[in-house]
Amino acid sequence: MGLHHFTWRATASGLADETVVADALAWLIGDHEAVEIERTTSYHGSTIHMIEAKTSRKGPALRCLARLGKDALQTLLEEAEQRLDESNTLHVRVQFNALMNGEVVLAQAGEESVKGHTKVQVFPGQEGLSEARSTIEAAIAIASEEGQ
């Protein structure tokens, strides 16, 4: 039971304050130094910011998952089969605007979102879905301890 890494990605327009987005992702990942901002241009030439936060350590990755909170994690647990791909990567999207306001709300299709994904640790003889569910349950326990 565990996670190999966790990565969050967001895109902000050139008019947006990318530091606010970076701070929100730093909170999610649990480390300000894990955030990178790339300034680039869109297809049409306007400035955009690609913000990425990632950790490749198991403990911080699990705490990152726990930061979603008990309610969101319970939803992930129920939807684990749809969110887990064939390479045992769990996909999560949270609402962009809610996150900028300090809330974590799972995004619905079509909503502006921050994309997250994490690789579930699966050893030979183990089943990916059951390991994903066990890991989410461990994150729920951490979230409960921390009052999230």
Q: CA-based angle 79:81:83, to the nearest 5?
A: 70
- Using CA of residue 96, residue 100, residue 79, residue 58, what is the dihedral sign? positive
CATH code given to domain 3-145: 3.30.1440.10
Q: Which residue has the tokens 């699990």?
A: 62
When pLDDT is cut at 50, 70 and 90, the band that residue 103 belongs to is very high
- How many Cβ atoms from other residues are within 10 Å of residue 71's Cβ? 14
Burial of 113 (0-12, 13-18, 19+ CB in 10 A): buried
Does the structure show a pLDDT above 80 at 15?
Answer: no
Judge contact between 122 and 136, C-beta under 8 A: no
Judge contact between 84 and 50, C-beta under 8 A: no
Task: Tell me what percent of the residues of the chain surpass a pLDDT of 90.
Answer: 79
Q: What is the pLDDT of residue 1?
A: 63
Model-level pTM? 0.90
